[in-house]
A and B are shown apart, each in its own frame.
Chain A
Amino acid sequence: MSNKTLANEHEHEQKLKTYRLSSDEYQMMTTLLKREPHAIEWALFSALWSEHCSYKSSKMHLRKFSFRNESTPEMDGENAGVVDLGFGEKIAFKMESHNHPSFIEPVQGAATGVGGILRDIFTMGARPIMTADYLCFGEVDAPRMKDLMKGVVRGISMYGNCVGVPTVTGQTNFHARYNKNILVNALNVGYFAPGQKMALSGASGPGNLVVYVGAKTGRDGVHGASMASASFDDDSESKRPNVQIGDPFYEKLLIEACLQILDQELVVAMQDMGAAGLTSSSFEMAAKGQVGLVIDLKKVPLRDSSMTAEDILLSESQERMLLICEPKNFESIKNTFKKWNLDAVILGEVQKERKVKLQWGVETLTDIDPDLIIEKAPRYERPYQRWASPRKVEQLATPTFRPSELIQKLTKSFKLNQAHWIHNQYDQRVGARTAMACESSVAFARLDHSGRGLGLAVGCRPEVMQMDAEVGALDAVYYPAFQLALKGAETLAITDCLNFGNPQKPEIMSEFVASVEAIALASRKLNAPVISGNVSFYNETLEENIISTPATGVVAIRDSVENLISDQFQAPFESLIAVQMKWVESWTAVMAADKKVSSFKQSPGCDVPDFIKQCSQMDAEFKKLDLPISSIKAIGLGGIATTCLKMTTDAIGFDLSYDLNGNQEADLFKDSFYGFIVSTGDNEKTASFLKSHFKNLNVEIKKIGETTNQKITLSTSTQIEPNQFRTDYLKGL
């Protein structure tokens, strides 16, 4: 081989590396184009064939979420899923990850995560009304971790508060496996009042205008999508310029301007410029609408006039949208945006010929069929194995531990912590709809038109996932649905954010497939379709993968927002009754405190979906029978004992030494899925109601203790100092 071809070879290799394309993908690209790609096309294929944009490793499995019911219209390919709530009301909701940017630059990474998910919602014409977060941090003492925690919370708080959308619920997890790759997932729910129009994303109508609205384009986030589709190495710090910068003030203006032009029916289609910016929005709108677009990149409003066409195409500058309108409506759109101090600029027009033609003034940079890059994107069937539950056992051994030491370990590692320091930085009540927020395990907002309560909870417990991917993913749906049911809400629909490691590793792919199938199963059993979602692969740093974390968001409906029962004890000297179905039993929290993974025992004959359904009907019965129920809470990891600890207030404690029924003290910390604790002023009446209500189910119902005047007693041998515990439980950063 001559030196010259060697040099060319090397250059080619470098190019593939820069654009993160494999040689097979390069072959596909030239076959589809029937020629060598032009300079700019390398960038287009790189962005749109990235894992982040193309879902190339997950798409064939995501089809398993095809189940729909009468309240979930077919909306595939849109920015978020929609649920018809009846009474003319609808919601759109979705969850998304911003893990990689948040690890590099926590404040902006988390902030723009919130911004991005909001745009997915209001681009459909819905007004965002509730935000939730799902966070996984490493060990509190891991390098950078405290700064990451503070930064992420600050980012979410700064953005969400300013746009005026309340952050109403969330979950924060801590585990060593997130030390080098934290997870920041955000969820948003948008509301359609009766008669409010829904906007779609497919471009149509040759001759219609392609209009750019919102903030100007800068260099931030260039190549962000392909960055998010690679594993981290030691050099992740140097990727900081790839992170987008957000301005929630612009977002607020954009929300108002977009909802106004949609309301005036001036828009044919609209799409936000998210991952891969203008590239993905233009190609996706064209592919979706089966039309072509002509766009002149020179017309894009810029913050930095020296930006190249490639920079402009791949910039992930925030708070921008692309829309299609009829020429006669442009003036009105422009005026509305001007009123809100935002740009609206014509970039080009829709054409019949199905090609996206990108111009730089008079020069044509590319002119290709959008399907080549969207529909024909690579799909991989990554190798995996059927899930075999390696930690499932017949008999579960009881570990030896000292309860008071365990509680200290759990509070010290923030695993048993109220996260008050996080939530009190979020505006939880703007919008004046909030009926229950972060003080509780689930949130409720009042729906403007019908006055009903819309419940929202997020799910996925990393320690359960670590124990078993299948049980963990079922639990990611069942547990939030169960928590909502305990407040009297019926599950409607699910969104998910599948955070996984490197899909090219079969063990990761096996967990991914097991999770997808488990979520799909749980969704059918609960009659709650998975209507939207997001996949985040390559959560891997230096070959170390995170715990597979399929986070979920579950929405549920309740007849009203009145009389929601608290998670916290309300009065001393009331009876505590536990109701438990023992589908899965484990020692998850106890083992995790020692950095070990628990085994589990699974019992047949436990109909979890039916239990959840019957729980959701119980709340109305409490009222009908006038039962003095003062608090109710799902039994979380760490069993009855840690759940009771979470139900305490500064003034009210509990005593579980009442009757251990021959059980050991350790059993108070055992996990059994699923169960709940109620406090009641009338033990007899409540117990007899519960027995009759659940008579057809395999559940155990028993009095476990009483609430007290502050004192915390686990057993005759273990007392917990209440003031110390409350201090540890409420501590923050």
Chain B
Amino acid sequence: MSLGTKLKIGITRFLGTNCDEDVRKWLQSLSADTTYLWFEDQFDVNHYDMIVLPGGFSHGDYLRCGAMAAQTPVMKSVKEFAKKDKPILGICNGFQILCEAGLLPGALLRNKELRFKDQWVQLQVNNNQNPFAKKTEVGQTLKLPIAHGDGNYYADSETLKKLKDNNQIWLTYKDNNPNGALMDIAGITNEKHNICALMPHPERALYEWMGSCDGAFLL
């Protein structure tokens, strides 16, 4: 499989990011041209076709998950990139950072059981109008793994209504909500649908031997 003409993808790297290599391996397997974007540096937004914010414990999760990462120079460029309506994907801690940076609405609170949770989840695709859902159909079920301590999506009722009305709810947990997220939300997009984020890890579900291939549907 390939992403066609060599897509230039930037992968953010903060102190404590730990899924950077996994994401890079995934994108390279699709023949993308990948570059790490160091948290202290801004980048040329015209140079990239897509930005991915991988998971991990950026800046040790100190203060709040993603809060310190959201204030770094690289995020200034990510915001600028976002304004150009180009695609951004946040995974796990990347989702938290995008919320903290104000690029996505809402926040991710501590899991309802107050502990870290690693498990496989069944997700439902609620909307496929975004750059990472083109290969999926509405109603389709995806099997992906989660691994997080703070994945409990929260937003006020007004925001939730807006999310729903604008078709910004991308993925929801089916049957079993692992973290207490409101409306079973596992992944959302911004209003323009170019900034997308999810708590599960697609890069850990690309081949049969990993336990599922459904992560490959995202790109």
Contact = CB atoms under 8 A, between A and B. Distances in A.
B15 interface: yes
Interface string A131-155: 0000000000000000000000010
B177 interface: no
Contacts of B63: none
Given A249-B15, A340-B15, A430-B147, A164 B118 contact: no
B122 interface: no
B26 interface: yes
B147 A434 contact: no
Contacts of B26: 432
B145 interface: yes
B217 interface: no
Given A162-B61, A430-B22, A432-B26, A446 B209 contact: yes
B201 interface: yes
Interface string B130-163: 0000000000000001010100000000000000
Contacts of B149: 161
Interface string B31-67: 0000000000000000000000001110111100000
A423 B119 CA distance: 9
A247 interface: yes
Most chain A CB inside 10 Å of its own CB: which residue of B15, B116, B118, B208: B118
A423 B59 CA distance: 25
A435 interface: yes
B83 interface: no
A424 B115 CA distance: 10
B57 A162 contact: yes
Most chain A CB inside 10 Å of its own CB: which residue of B19, B62, B115, B209: B209
A162 B208 CA distance: 26
A562 to B, nearest CB: 5
Given A431-B22, A432-B22, A341 B15 contact: yes
Nearest to B58: A249
A427 interface: yes
Most chain B CB inside 10 Å of its own CB: which residue of A158, A163, A425: A425
Contact of A425 (B55, B117, B204): B117
A429 interface: yes
B190 interface: no
A128 B130 CA distance: 36
Nearest to B18: A164
B147 A161 contact: yes
Contacts of A427: 116, 118, 147
Contact of B16 (A162, A429, A430): A162
Interface string B199-211: 0010110101110
B164 interface: no
A253 B22 contact: no
B6 interface: no
Interface in A238-266: 247-249, 252-253
A154 B60 CA distance: 16
Interface in A407-445: 423-432, 434-435
A162 B60 contact: yes
Contacts of A248: 57, 60
A686 interface: no
B117 A424 contact: yes
Contact of A154 (B115, B147, B209): B115
A690 interface: no
A432 B60 contact: no
B116 A161 contact: yes
Most chain B CB inside 10 Å of its own CB: which residue of A154, A340, A432: A432
Given A425-B118, A428-B147, A247 B22 contact: no
Contacts of A163: 18
Given A247-B60, A446-B209, A429 B15 contact: no
A425 B116 contact: yes
A504 B117 CA distance: 44
B interface, over-half SS:
mixed
Contacts of A435: 209-210
Interface in B143-201: 145, 147, 149, 201
A176 interface: no
B26 to A, nearest CB: 7
A430 B59 contact: no
A425 B61 CA distance: 17
Given A161-B147, A162-B60, A432 B25 contact: yes
Nearest to A256: B15
Nearest to A154: B115
Interface in A149-199: 154, 157-158, 161-164
Interface in A375-432: 423-432
A256 to B, nearest CB: 9
Interface string A315-354: 0000000000000000000000000110000000000000
Interface in B76-124: 115-119
Contacts of A562: 208-209
A31 to B, nearest CB: 49
A161 B111 CA distance: 15
Nearest to A167: B118
B206 to A, nearest CB: 8
Given A432-B204, A562-B208, A157 B116 contact: yes
Given A164-B19, A429-B145, A564 B209 contact: yes
B59 A249 contact: yes
Contacts of B15: 249, 252-253, 340-341
Given A252-B18, A428-B147, A432-B203, A164 B116 contact: no
Contacts of A249: 15-16, 57, 59-62
Contacts of A434: 204, 210
Contacts of B204: 429-430, 432, 434
B64 to A, nearest CB: 14
A471 interface: no
A561 interface: yes
A247 B62 CA distance: 11
A423 B25 contact: no
Contacts of A164: 18-19, 56-57
Contacts of A429: 118, 145, 147, 201, 204, 210
Contacts of A158: 116
A568 to B, nearest CB: 13
When A and B form their complex, which 10 residue pairs have the shortest distance between CB atoms, in order from nearest?
Answer: A164-B18, A249-B60, A432-B22, A427-B147, A561-B209, A429-B204, A162-B57, A435-B209, A425-B116, A424-B118
Given A157-B116, A164-B18, A426-B116, 17 more contacts: A161-B57, A161-B116, A162-B61, A164-B57, A248-B57, A252-B15, A253-B16, A341-B15, A428-B118, A430-B204, A431-B22, A432-B22, A432-B26, A434-B204, A435-B210, A446-B209, A560-B209
Interface of B: 15-16, 18-19, 21-22, 25-26, 55-57, 59-62, 115-119, 145, 147, 149, 201, 203-204, 206, 208-210
Interface of A: 154, 157-158, 161-164, 247-249, 252-253, 340-341, 423-432, 434-435, 446, 560-562, 564
12 contacts: A161-B116, A248-B57, A248-B60, A252-B18, A253-B15, A427-B116, A427-B147, A428-B118, A429-B118, A431-B21, A432-B25, A432-B204
